[in-house]
Structure 1
Protein backbone atom coordinates (compact mmCIF):
# COMPACT_ATOMS: atom_id res chain seq x y z
CA UNK A 1 0.00 0.00 0.00
CA UNK A 2 1.12 3.59 0.08
CA UNK A 3 1.66 5.92 -2.81
CA UNK A 4 2.91 5.02 -6.27
CA UNK A 5 4.92 7.16 -8.64
CA UNK A 6 3.15 9.49 -11.03
CA UNK A 7 4.20 7.57 -14.13
CA UNK A 8 2.71 4.32 -12.85
CA UNK A 9 -0.32 6.19 -11.50
CA UNK A 10 -0.85 7.70 -14.96
CA UNK A 11 -0.70 4.25 -16.57
CA UNK A 12 -3.11 2.66 -14.09
CA UNK A 13 -5.42 5.67 -14.01
CA UNK A 14 -5.57 5.81 -17.81
CA UNK A 15 -6.66 2.18 -17.88
CA UNK A 16 -9.32 2.79 -15.22
CA UNK A 17 -10.63 5.89 -17.00
CA UNK A 18 -10.77 3.94 -20.28
CA UNK A 19 -12.61 1.04 -18.61
CA UNK A 20 -15.07 3.47 -17.05
CA UNK A 21 -15.51 5.22 -20.40
CA UNK A 22 -16.36 1.84 -21.96
CA UNK A 23 -18.99 1.25 -19.27
CA UNK A 24 -20.45 4.74 -19.57
CA UNK A 25 -20.65 4.40 -23.36
CA UNK A 26 -22.72 1.24 -22.72
CA UNK A 27 -24.87 3.34 -20.33
CA UNK A 28 -23.60 1.57 -17.22
CA UNK A 29 -22.51 3.43 -14.09
CA UNK A 30 -20.28 1.49 -11.68
CA UNK A 31 -21.24 3.38 -8.47
CA UNK A 32 -18.67 1.62 -6.25
CA UNK A 33 -15.30 2.74 -7.55
CA UNK A 34 -12.66 2.35 -4.85
CA UNK A 35 -9.13 1.02 -4.57
CA UNK A 36 -10.40 -2.31 -3.27
CA UNK A 37 -12.25 -2.81 -6.59
CA UNK A 38 -9.14 -2.23 -8.70
CA UNK A 39 -7.04 -5.35 -9.11
CA UNK A 40 -3.49 -5.61 -10.43
CA UNK A 41 -3.34 -8.20 -13.19
CA UNK A 42 0.39 -7.67 -13.51
CA UNK A 43 2.91 -4.85 -13.11
CA UNK A 44 1.36 -2.89 -15.99
CA UNK A 45 -2.32 -3.81 -16.04
CA UNK A 46 -5.26 -3.06 -13.77
CA UNK A 47 -8.74 -4.57 -13.83
CA UNK A 48 -11.96 -3.00 -12.57
CA UNK A 49 -14.11 -5.40 -10.52
CA UNK A 50 -17.25 -5.66 -8.36
CA UNK A 51 -20.24 -4.53 -10.35
CA UNK A 52 -22.72 -5.26 -7.55
CA UNK A 53 -23.88 -1.62 -7.35
CA UNK A 54 -23.63 -0.89 -11.07
CA UNK A 55 -26.68 0.55 -12.74
CA UNK A 56 -27.97 0.74 -16.28
CA UNK A 57 -28.64 4.35 -17.27
CA UNK A 58 -31.05 4.84 -20.15
CA UNK A 59 -29.47 6.92 -22.87
CA UNK A 60 -30.94 10.27 -23.86
CA UNK A 61 -32.52 11.00 -20.49
CA UNK A 62 -31.11 12.64 -17.41
CA UNK A 63 -30.94 9.71 -15.06
CA UNK A 64 -30.72 10.38 -11.37
CA UNK A 65 -30.14 7.82 -8.67
CA UNK A 66 -31.20 8.18 -5.08
CA UNK A 67 -29.74 4.93 -3.78
CA UNK A 68 -26.77 5.43 -1.48
CA UNK A 69 -24.19 2.90 -2.50
CA UNK A 70 -20.45 2.60 -2.52
CA UNK A 71 -18.10 3.63 0.26
CA UNK A 72 -18.34 6.91 2.17
CA UNK A 73 -14.64 7.68 1.67
CA UNK A 74 -15.16 7.73 -2.12
CA UNK A 75 -18.64 9.28 -2.12
CA UNK A 76 -19.37 12.65 -3.69
CA UNK A 77 -21.08 15.37 -1.62
CA UNK A 78 -24.41 14.94 -3.40
CA UNK A 79 -24.42 11.21 -2.57
CA UNK A 80 -23.48 11.81 1.08
CA UNK A 81 -26.21 14.44 1.37
CA UNK A 82 -28.86 12.08 -0.01
CA UNK A 83 -29.56 14.33 -3.00
CA UNK A 84 -30.62 12.50 -6.20
CA UNK A 85 -27.43 12.28 -8.23
CA UNK A 86 -26.07 11.60 -11.69
CA UNK A 87 -24.42 8.17 -11.27
CA UNK A 88 -21.86 8.78 -14.04
CA UNK A 89 -20.68 11.99 -12.35
CA UNK A 90 -20.52 10.09 -9.05
CA UNK A 91 -18.15 7.67 -10.82
CA UNK A 92 -15.95 10.61 -11.89
CA UNK A 93 -15.73 11.84 -8.28
CA UNK A 94 -14.79 8.37 -7.03
CA UNK A 95 -12.18 8.05 -9.80
CA UNK A 96 -10.70 11.36 -8.58
CA UNK A 97 -10.45 9.89 -5.07
CA UNK A 98 -8.62 6.86 -6.47
CA UNK A 99 -6.11 9.06 -8.31
CA UNK A 100 -5.53 11.12 -5.16
CA UNK A 101 -4.84 7.93 -3.21
CA UNK A 102 -2.49 6.64 -5.92
CA UNK A 103 -0.26 9.72 -5.86
CA UNK A 104 -0.42 10.51 -2.12
CA UNK A 105 -1.04 7.19 -0.37
CA UNK A 106 -3.78 8.88 1.70
CA UNK A 107 -7.51 9.52 1.43
CA UNK A 108 -8.54 12.94 0.07
CA UNK A 109 -11.09 13.46 2.88
CA UNK A 110 -11.39 12.09 6.40
CA UNK A 111 -14.50 9.90 6.38
CA UNK A 112 -14.71 9.29 10.15
CA UNK A 113 -17.35 12.03 10.41
CA UNK A 114 -19.68 12.40 7.42
CA UNK A 115 -20.74 15.99 8.27
CA UNK A 116 -17.10 17.07 8.46
CA UNK A 117 -16.35 15.20 5.24
CA UNK A 118 -19.17 17.01 3.40
CA UNK A 119 -17.99 20.38 4.75
CA UNK A 120 -14.41 19.72 3.55
CA UNK A 121 -15.71 18.59 0.16
CA UNK A 122 -17.97 21.62 -0.27
CA UNK A 123 -15.10 23.96 0.66
CA UNK A 124 -12.88 22.25 -1.95
CA UNK A 125 -10.45 21.46 0.87
CA UNK A 126 -8.26 19.01 -1.05
CA UNK A 127 -4.86 19.01 0.65
CA UNK A 128 -1.87 17.44 -1.02
CA UNK A 129 0.90 16.29 1.35
CA UNK A 130 3.75 18.79 1.11
CA UNK A 131 6.38 16.07 1.49
CA UNK A 132 5.56 14.59 -1.96
CA UNK A 133 6.31 16.10 -5.32
CA UNK A 134 3.09 15.94 -7.34
CA UNK A 135 2.90 17.76 -10.67
CA UNK A 136 0.60 20.76 -10.95
CA UNK A 137 -1.06 19.03 -13.91
CA UNK A 138 -1.95 16.01 -11.77
CA UNK A 139 -3.25 18.24 -8.97
CA UNK A 140 -5.33 20.17 -11.49
CA UNK A 141 -6.96 16.97 -12.76
CA UNK A 142 -7.73 15.77 -9.23
CA UNK A 143 -9.23 19.12 -8.22
CA UNK A 144 -11.39 19.16 -11.38
CA UNK A 145 -12.69 15.66 -10.57
CA UNK A 146 -13.25 16.47 -6.88
CA UNK A 147 -15.29 19.56 -7.71
CA UNK A 148 -18.40 19.62 -5.49
CA UNK A 149 -20.44 21.59 -8.05
CA UNK A 150 -21.56 18.87 -10.45
CA UNK A 151 -21.94 21.45 -13.25
CA UNK A 152 -18.24 22.38 -12.89
CA UNK A 153 -16.97 18.84 -12.18
CA UNK A 154 -14.92 17.25 -14.96
CA UNK A 155 -16.82 14.91 -17.22
CA UNK A 156 -15.18 11.61 -18.08
CA UNK A 157 -14.50 12.92 -21.61
CA UNK A 158 -12.66 15.90 -20.08
CA UNK A 159 -10.70 13.55 -17.83
CA UNK A 160 -9.62 11.44 -20.80
CA UNK A 161 -8.45 14.57 -22.65
CA UNK A 162 -6.69 16.14 -19.66
CA UNK A 163 -3.07 17.17 -20.35
CA UNK A 164 -1.80 15.05 -17.42
CA UNK A 165 -3.01 11.86 -19.10
CA UNK A 166 -1.68 12.99 -22.45
CA UNK A 167 1.79 13.56 -20.95
CA UNK A 168 2.12 9.77 -20.85
CA UNK A 169 1.08 7.13 -23.33
CA UNK A 170 -2.04 7.74 -25.39
CA UNK A 171 -5.29 6.54 -23.82
CA UNK A 172 -7.97 4.97 -25.98
CA UNK A 173 -11.24 6.86 -25.65
Structure 2
Protein backbone atom coordinates (compact mmCIF):
# COMPACT_ATOMS: atom_id res chain seq x y z
CA UNK A 1 0.00 0.00 0.00
CA UNK A 2 1.14 3.54 -0.79
CA UNK A 3 -0.05 6.43 1.33
CA UNK A 4 0.46 10.13 0.63
CA UNK A 5 -0.80 13.20 2.42
CA UNK A 6 -3.32 15.33 0.53
CA UNK A 7 -1.58 18.35 -0.99
CA UNK A 8 1.87 16.74 -1.03
CA UNK A 9 3.99 17.62 -4.06
CA UNK A 10 4.03 13.92 -5.01
CA UNK A 11 0.23 13.76 -5.23
CA UNK A 12 0.10 14.71 -8.91
CA UNK A 13 2.53 11.92 -9.80
CA UNK A 14 0.56 9.43 -7.74
CA UNK A 15 -2.72 10.39 -9.37
CA UNK A 16 -1.06 9.84 -12.76
CA UNK A 17 0.25 6.52 -11.48
CA UNK A 18 -3.26 5.44 -10.48
CA UNK A 19 -4.61 6.30 -13.93
CA UNK A 20 -1.87 4.26 -15.60
CA UNK A 21 -2.20 1.28 -13.27
CA UNK A 22 -5.96 1.20 -13.88
CA UNK A 23 -5.20 0.63 -17.59
CA UNK A 24 -2.64 -2.16 -17.33
CA UNK A 25 -2.86 -5.88 -16.67
CA UNK A 26 0.36 -7.81 -17.14
CA UNK A 27 2.23 -10.35 -14.98
CA UNK A 28 5.42 -8.26 -15.11
CA UNK A 29 3.73 -5.06 -13.88
CA UNK A 30 2.43 -4.45 -10.38
CA UNK A 31 -1.36 -4.58 -10.16
CA UNK A 32 -3.55 -1.93 -8.56
CA UNK A 33 -6.50 -3.41 -6.66
CA UNK A 34 -8.18 -0.31 -5.27
CA UNK A 35 -7.47 3.37 -4.63
CA UNK A 36 -9.30 5.78 -2.34
CA UNK A 37 -8.76 8.97 -0.40
CA UNK A 38 -9.83 10.58 2.82
CA UNK A 39 -9.73 14.24 3.82
CA UNK A 40 -6.01 13.96 4.60
CA UNK A 41 -4.57 11.02 2.68
CA UNK A 42 -4.54 9.29 -0.70
CA UNK A 43 -4.22 5.50 -0.61
CA UNK A 44 -3.71 2.81 -3.17
CA UNK A 45 -3.57 -0.91 -2.56
CA UNK A 46 -1.40 -3.06 -4.83
CA UNK A 47 -0.08 -6.60 -5.04
CA UNK A 48 2.09 -7.66 -2.12
CA UNK A 49 5.48 -8.50 -3.63
CA UNK A 50 7.43 -10.32 -0.93
CA UNK A 51 10.55 -11.43 -2.78
CA UNK A 52 12.43 -8.17 -2.30
CA UNK A 53 13.77 -5.88 -4.99
CA UNK A 54 16.63 -6.05 -7.45
CA UNK A 55 18.37 -3.25 -5.54
CA UNK A 56 18.41 -5.45 -2.42
CA UNK A 57 19.99 -8.38 -4.25
CA UNK A 58 22.61 -6.22 -5.95
CA UNK A 59 23.50 -4.67 -2.60
CA UNK A 60 23.70 -8.12 -0.98
CA UNK A 61 25.45 -10.05 -3.76
CA UNK A 62 27.34 -7.23 -5.57
CA UNK A 63 26.43 -8.66 -8.98
CA UNK A 64 24.36 -11.46 -10.49
CA UNK A 65 25.39 -14.39 -12.65
CA UNK A 66 24.82 -14.22 -16.38
CA UNK A 67 21.87 -16.61 -16.58
CA UNK A 68 19.98 -14.77 -13.86
CA UNK A 69 20.78 -11.40 -15.45
CA UNK A 70 19.55 -12.65 -18.82
CA UNK A 71 16.35 -14.02 -17.28
CA UNK A 72 15.53 -10.78 -15.45
CA UNK A 73 16.33 -8.72 -18.55
CA UNK A 74 13.94 -10.78 -20.68
CA UNK A 75 11.11 -10.32 -18.18
CA UNK A 76 11.75 -6.59 -17.81
CA UNK A 77 11.65 -6.33 -21.60
CA UNK A 78 8.27 -8.08 -21.65
CA UNK A 79 6.91 -5.54 -19.17
CA UNK A 80 8.30 -2.59 -21.13
CA UNK A 81 6.95 -3.88 -24.43
CA UNK A 82 3.50 -4.22 -22.88
CA UNK A 83 3.63 -0.60 -21.67
CA UNK A 84 4.90 0.63 -25.03
CA UNK A 85 2.15 -1.22 -26.89
CA UNK A 86 -0.30 0.90 -24.91
CA UNK A 87 1.46 4.18 -25.62
CA UNK A 88 3.14 4.40 -22.19
CA UNK A 89 6.80 5.28 -21.67
CA UNK A 90 8.06 4.14 -18.25
CA UNK A 91 10.95 6.62 -17.73
CA UNK A 92 12.07 5.37 -14.32
CA UNK A 93 13.57 1.92 -14.81
CA UNK A 94 16.09 1.29 -12.02
CA UNK A 95 16.82 -1.51 -9.52
CA UNK A 96 14.69 0.14 -6.81
CA UNK A 97 11.60 -0.16 -9.05
CA UNK A 98 12.25 -3.74 -10.12
CA UNK A 99 10.60 -6.08 -7.61
CA UNK A 100 10.85 -9.87 -7.48
CA UNK A 101 7.85 -11.97 -6.47
CA UNK A 102 7.77 -15.19 -4.46
CA UNK A 103 8.19 -17.25 -7.65
CA UNK A 104 11.33 -15.34 -8.62
CA UNK A 105 9.71 -13.35 -11.43
CA UNK A 106 10.16 -9.65 -12.14
CA UNK A 107 7.44 -7.11 -11.33
CA UNK A 108 7.92 -3.46 -12.35
CA UNK A 109 6.54 -0.86 -9.94
CA UNK A 110 6.22 2.92 -9.54
CA UNK A 111 4.68 4.61 -12.57
CA UNK A 112 4.83 8.13 -11.14
CA UNK A 113 7.15 9.36 -13.92
CA UNK A 114 5.46 7.41 -16.70
CA UNK A 115 3.74 9.21 -19.55
CA UNK A 116 0.80 8.14 -21.67
CA UNK A 117 -0.20 9.09 -25.20
CA UNK A 118 2.95 7.99 -27.05
CA UNK A 119 1.21 5.94 -29.71
CA UNK A 120 3.44 4.64 -32.51
CA UNK A 121 7.20 4.14 -32.65
CA UNK A 122 7.94 7.76 -33.59
CA UNK A 123 5.75 9.43 -30.94
CA UNK A 124 7.83 11.85 -28.88
CA UNK A 125 7.84 13.84 -25.68
CA UNK A 126 10.36 16.22 -24.10
CA UNK A 127 9.86 16.28 -20.32
CA UNK A 128 13.11 16.05 -18.37
CA UNK A 129 12.84 13.37 -15.71
CA UNK A 130 14.46 10.17 -14.50
CA UNK A 131 17.20 9.00 -12.14
CA UNK A 132 20.76 10.17 -12.96
CA UNK A 133 22.48 6.79 -13.45
CA UNK A 134 19.72 5.44 -15.71
CA UNK A 135 18.53 8.43 -17.73
CA UNK A 136 19.07 8.46 -21.51
CA UNK A 137 21.34 11.08 -23.13
CA UNK A 138 18.56 12.71 -25.17
CA UNK A 139 16.69 13.50 -21.94
CA UNK A 140 19.81 15.09 -20.44
CA UNK A 141 20.30 17.18 -23.60
CA UNK A 142 16.71 18.42 -23.49
CA UNK A 143 15.85 16.80 -26.81
CA UNK A 144 12.59 15.18 -27.78
CA UNK A 145 12.66 11.43 -27.23
CA UNK A 146 10.66 8.28 -27.92
CA UNK A 147 9.82 5.22 -25.83
CA UNK A 148 13.30 3.94 -26.73
CA UNK A 149 14.68 5.76 -23.67
CA UNK A 150 13.38 2.80 -21.64
CA UNK A 151 15.68 0.46 -23.58
CA UNK A 152 18.65 2.67 -22.71
CA UNK A 153 17.76 2.33 -19.03
CA UNK A 154 17.39 -1.43 -19.47
CA UNK A 155 20.91 -1.62 -20.88
CA UNK A 156 22.22 0.28 -17.85
CA UNK A 157 20.39 -2.08 -15.48
CA UNK A 158 21.77 -5.13 -17.32
CA UNK A 159 25.30 -3.74 -17.00
CA UNK A 160 24.75 -3.17 -13.28
CA UNK A 161 23.46 -6.71 -12.81
CA UNK A 162 26.60 -8.13 -14.43
CA UNK A 163 29.23 -5.81 -12.93
CA UNK A 164 27.67 -4.56 -9.69
CA UNK A 165 27.88 -0.84 -10.53
CA UNK A 166 26.22 1.35 -13.19
CA UNK A 167 28.31 1.93 -16.33
CA UNK A 168 28.38 5.71 -15.88
CA UNK A 169 29.47 5.83 -12.26
CA UNK A 170 30.39 8.92 -10.27
CA UNK A 171 29.53 10.49 -6.92
CA UNK A 172 28.70 13.74 -8.73
CA UNK A 173 25.45 14.01 -10.71
CA UNK A 174 26.88 16.40 -13.30
CA UNK A 175 29.79 14.05 -13.92
CA UNK A 176 27.31 11.19 -14.39
CA UNK A 177 25.43 13.23 -17.00
CA UNK A 178 28.69 14.10 -18.77
CA UNK A 179 29.71 10.45 -18.96
CA UNK A 180 26.28 9.45 -20.30
CA UNK A 181 26.31 12.10 -23.02
CA UNK A 182 29.90 11.19 -23.99
CA UNK A 183 29.10 7.45 -23.78
CA UNK A 184 32.10 7.17 -21.47
CA UNK A 185 32.15 3.65 -20.06
CA UNK A 186 34.15 0.44 -20.36
CA UNK A 187 33.51 -3.30 -20.19
CA UNK A 188 35.90 -5.78 -18.64
CA UNK A 189 35.48 -8.64 -21.11
CA UNK A 190 37.53 -10.93 -18.86
CA UNK A 191 34.78 -10.68 -16.24
CA UNK A 192 32.18 -12.16 -18.59
CA UNK A 193 32.23 -15.75 -19.81
CA UNK A 194 32.00 -16.76 -23.46
CA UNK A 195 28.43 -17.85 -22.70
CA UNK A 196 27.17 -14.27 -23.08
CA UNK A 197 30.08 -12.57 -24.84
CA UNK A 198 30.26 -12.84 -28.61
CA UNK A 199 32.32 -10.73 -31.02
CA UNK A 200 32.67 -7.83 -28.61
CA UNK A 201 29.09 -7.67 -27.37
CA UNK A 202 26.62 -9.19 -24.96
CA UNK A 203 24.17 -11.72 -26.34
Structure with the larger RCO, 1 or 2 (CA within 8 Å, 6+ apart): 1
Q: Which residue of 2 aligns with 1:171?
A: none
Write the distance in 2 (CA, Å) between the matches of 1:14 and 1:32.
17
Q: How many Å apart are 1:10 and its aligned residue?
A: 0.8
Kept in 2, the 8 Å contact 1:12–1:45? The answer is yes
Aligned residues: 141
Q: How many Å apart are 1:65 and its aligned residue?
A: 1.8
Greater strand share, 1 or 2?
A: 2
Write the distance in 1 (CA, Å) between the matches of 2:128 and 2:187.
28
1:1-173 superposed matches below 5 A = 1=59, 2-42=62-102, 44-60=104-120, 62-86=122-146, 88-129=147-188, 132-134=191-193, 135-137=196-198, 140-141=201-202, 164=203
Q: How many Å apart are 1:97 and its aligned residue?
A: 0.7
Write the distance in 2 (CA, Å) between the matches of 1:78 and 1:123.
11
Write the distance in 2 (CA, Å) between the matches of 1:80 and 1:139.
28
Unpaired segments ≥5 residues, structure 2: 1-58
Residues 111 and 31 of structure 1: CA distance in aligned 2, closer, same or farther (over 3 Å): farther
Greater helix share, 1 or 2?
A: 1
Kept in 2, the 8 Å contact 1:72–1:111? The answer is no
Residues 68 and 19 of structure 1: CA distance in aligned 2, closer, same or farther (over 3 Å): same
**TM-score between both structures, scaled by the size of structure 1:** 0.71
Q: How many Å apart are 1:26 and its aligned residue?
A: 1.2
Write the distance in 2 (CA, Å) between the matches of 1:83 and 1:18.
27
Structure 1 stretches (4+) deviating beyond 6 angstroms? none
Q: Which is greater in Rg?
A: 2
